[in-house]
């Protein structure tokens, strides 16, 4: 016989489920779990704070320290890295660190000292400060291995020793006479007369390519001189007579460079074809310029990249001497500049006549 479900009655009926009590139990259980989780989280947070700085331990690095802003300026930026971002043009980009007290000390120089030294550049934008106190008459101090066009020729005294040594070695090596220092230092009056005479004959545009205005000529430094060969009453250019190429090939060994090479006119803006003009820059700079085929304009741009704060330029000369060269900016807000120099090494400092100093260390 079949029965409907409603007709079936169990022998031991179960009490009906109380749904409201079940919901309450679930809520209570959830609250307990949340409280436990909150207590665990609070404990962990307390441990982090405690470990972050307890008076003895090292503070944990922040996220900004671990992952710095890639555009932030760094004082240790090396040559070849990207330019600093967000720095205004009138703000100094280079940040010079404090010199290592075990290796370097600082000496204080006047900003005016940038106009002194064997590496100064003179041009239309950077006029010379005439080296009146440093001039000496060459006639009274030269050796017998060369001649002068005039007994009144003056030079900067810092070039005398190397000039005499170069001329003496040439005379001994070649046996040739007739090498003559034709022109050297020119004062403002002389330079003005030469410039005006050329303008009168050839026009101002032509003069700009050949003759510099007063105060803008390398002749005004006393660091350079032109050479000719004077024989049988006639003055010749060095390249017109065989045997004088030794000067061009070896002058760098004595600190001299050809100031205005014909193939560098686009850099020097001067076509100096009236004589062979040498300029003193000193050792090892002349050797570096010869090896790298730099004119003075190119070399000063090159060496400026090696600031004190960054990697220094290191060079080993042909005779094995080791040098370290670096640049110190003179663009400060005061009238003086602190220049780091080595404690225990021989060094020289030259201004560039523009905006800084070049320090040359002999190791």
Does residue 50 form part of some domain? Answer: no
Beta carbons of 351 and 357 less than 8 angstroms apart: yes
Beta carbons of 122 and 353 less than 8 angstroms apart: yes
**Are residues 273 and 144 located together in one domain of the fold?**
yes
Does residue 69 form part of some domain? Answer: no
**Are residues 148 and 238 located together in one domain of the fold?**
yes
Task: Identify the H or E element spanning 339.
Answer: strand 336-342
Of residues 6 and 25, more confidently modeled: 25
- Which among 280, 315, 338 is the end of a domain? 280
**Are residues 269 and 137 located together in one domain of the fold?**
yes
Which pLDDT tens digit goes with each residue over 51-75?
A: 444 444 333 333 233 223 332 232 2
Q: Which pTM value belongs to this model?
A: 0.73
Percent of the chain with pLDDT over 70: 72
β-strands 179-183, 147-148 pairing? parallel
Which pLDDT tens digit goes with each residue over 224-267?
A: 999 999 998 999 999 899 999 999 999 999 999 999 999 999 99
**Are residues 139 and 274 located together in one domain of the fold?**
yes
What range defines the domain where residue 363 resides? 97-119+294-363
Does residue 300 form part of some domain? Answer: yes
Does residue 353 form part of some domain? Answer: yes
Running DSSP on this structure, what letter comes out for residue 298? Answer: H
- Which among 258, 280, 302 is the end of a domain? 280
CATH of the domain at 237: 3.30.1380.10
**Are residues 249 and 153 located together in one domain of the fold?**
yes
Which pLDDT tens digit goes with each residue over 329-349?
A: 999 999 999 999 999 999 999
What pLDDT is stored for residue 338 in this prediction? 97
> Which residues touch 211 (CB under 8 Å, ≥6 apart)?
194, 195, 198, 217
Give the dihedral of Cα atoms 29, 30, 36, 41; nearest 10 deg.
170
């Amino acid at each position: 016989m079949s029965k409907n479900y409603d007709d079936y009655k169990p022998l031991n009926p179960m009490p009906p489920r109380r749904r409201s009590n079940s919901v309450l139990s679930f809520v209570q259980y959830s609250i307990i779990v949340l409280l436990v989780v909150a207590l665990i989280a609070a404990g962990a947070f307390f441990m982090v704070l405690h470990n972050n700085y307890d008076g003895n331990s090292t503070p944990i690095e922040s996220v900004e320290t671990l992952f710095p802003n890639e555009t932030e300026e760094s004082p240790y930026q090396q040559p070849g890295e990207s330019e600093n971002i967000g720095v205004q043009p009138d703000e100094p980009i280079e940040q010079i660190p404090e010199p290592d007290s075990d290796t370097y000390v600082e000496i204080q120089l006047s900003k005016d000292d940038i106009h002194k030294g064997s590496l100064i550049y003179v041009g239309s934008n950077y006029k010379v400060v005439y080296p009146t106190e440093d001039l000496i008459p060459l006639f009274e101090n030269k050796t017998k291995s060369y001649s002068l066009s005039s007994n009144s020729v003056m030079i900067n005294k810092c070039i005398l020793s190397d000039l005499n040594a170069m001329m003496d070695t040439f005379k001994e090596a070649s046996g040739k006479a007739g090498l003559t220092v034709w022109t050297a230092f020119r004062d403002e009056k002389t330079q003005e007369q030469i410039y005006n005479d050329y303008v009168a004959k050839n026009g101002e545009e032509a003069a700009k390519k050949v003759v510099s205005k007063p105060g803008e000529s390398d002749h005004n430094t006393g660091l350079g001189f032109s050479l000719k060969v004077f024989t049988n009453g006639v003055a010749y250019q060095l390249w017109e007579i065989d045997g004088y190429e030794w000067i061009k090939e070896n002058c760098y060994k004595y600190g001299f460079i050809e100031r205005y090479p014909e193939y560098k006119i686009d850099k020097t803006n001067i076509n100096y074809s009236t004589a062979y003009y040498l300029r003193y820059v000193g050792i090892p700079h002349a050797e570096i310029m010869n090896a790298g085929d730099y004119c003075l304009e190119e070399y000063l741009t090159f060496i400026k990249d090696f600031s004190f704060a960054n990697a220094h330029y290191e060079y080993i000369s042909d005779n094995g001497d080791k040098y370290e060269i670096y640049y110190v900016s003179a663009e400060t807000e005061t009238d003086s500049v602190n220049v780091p120099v080595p404690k225990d090494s021989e060094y020289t400092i030259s201004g560039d006549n523009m905006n800084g100093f070049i320090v040359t260390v002999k190791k």
